[in-house]
Amino acid sequence: MNKLLKISIITVSYNSSSTIEDTIESVASQSCPNKEYIIVDGLSNDNTLDIINNYSDVINKVISEKDTGIYDAMNKGVNLASGDVIGFINSDDIYSDNQVLQRVSVLFSANPGVDACYGDLCYVKCDDLTKIVRYWRSNPYKQGLFKKGWVPPHPTLFARREVYKKFGGFDLRYRIAADFELMLRFIATNHIQTEYLPHIMVKMRLGGTTNRNLKNILLQNLEIRRALRSHNMSSSLVGFIAHKGWSRFLQFIQRPK
């Protein structure tokens, strides 16, 4: 019988009182029995911590202290994690159903050679989590995809803790695209073994850091281009823009099966 893996889930929060309860309840509802839930708060000054404290029975570790940004907080969460596998769920996101972590656990348990897995993500309206606005359907990784701006949805990524130990955490030189650089480093540069789970794993509210406005979208893409150059994966700017634009268009017209 395969060993039951422990999955560490990390949520980073700052003044998230309007949404974090949905996130916590989403994690609490997961049928996976062997999970660890960690919340890293950046000294919220609303009632985020009051809400977190109401769920002390389902949250294993909480810290609230000053950080230098979301990726610094994520690194703190990785350092606190004791699970075999690590995943992130943002403080304004939810899992699509209560079987997400169970599917991940089964995949890793049955495939000891797999280092990481990821799936699909839906963007939903802020005030109606059932209303899908964009559908980010991913696909199995093929060499060269990152050069085109392809990347799995980071909230759907689950990686073995050993991968973080071996290849490091989030590079804080990237303010808004450190998740892209991390997945680029893991998957394309160091060739970890990945598996694509063709399921919607996460529902993300529109309005997050990277899609909040045109300035942040531009900054993110400039950082992505810088990350590619740092890993010797420079690509055509025209091709990059065309592929990103086409991918975004497909997200708006695609619908879940």
Distance (Å, rounded) from C-alpha 119 to C-alpha 18? 26
> Considering only CA atoms, which of 139, 136, 141 is closest in space to residue 193?
141
Are residues 109 and 38 in contact, defined by beta-carbon separation less than 8 angstroms?
Answer: no
Structure token digits, residue 176: 């808004």
What is the C-alpha end-to-end distance of the chain, expressed in Å? 33
The dihedrals phi and psi of 116, each to the nearest 5 degrees, come to -155, 155
Q: Residue 90 carries which side chain, given as an amino acid letter?
A: N
pLDDT tens, 35-75?
999 999 999 999 999 999 999 999 999 999 999 999 999 99
Distance (Å, rounded) from C-alpha 65 to C-alpha 42? 5
Extents of the domains making up the chain: 7-253
Helix axes of 237-253 and 214-230: crossing angle, nearest 10 degrees: 130
Cross-strand pairs, 62 = 39
61 Cβ contact list (under 8 Å, min separation 6): 36, 37, 38, 39, 80
The CATH fold of domain 7-253: Spore Coat Polysaccharide Biosynthesis Protein SpsA; Chain A (3.90.550)
Distance (Å, rounded) from C-alpha 150 to C-alpha 138? 9
As averages over each run of 10 residues, the pLDDT of the chain (257 residues) reads 82 97 98 96 98 97 97 98 98 97 96 98 94 94 92 98 98 96 98 97 81 76 92 75 66 72
Prediction pTM value: 0.92
Distance (Å, rounded) from C-alpha 101 to C-alpha 124? 21
pLDDT tens, 194-228?
999 999 999 999 875 555 567 888 888 889 999 99
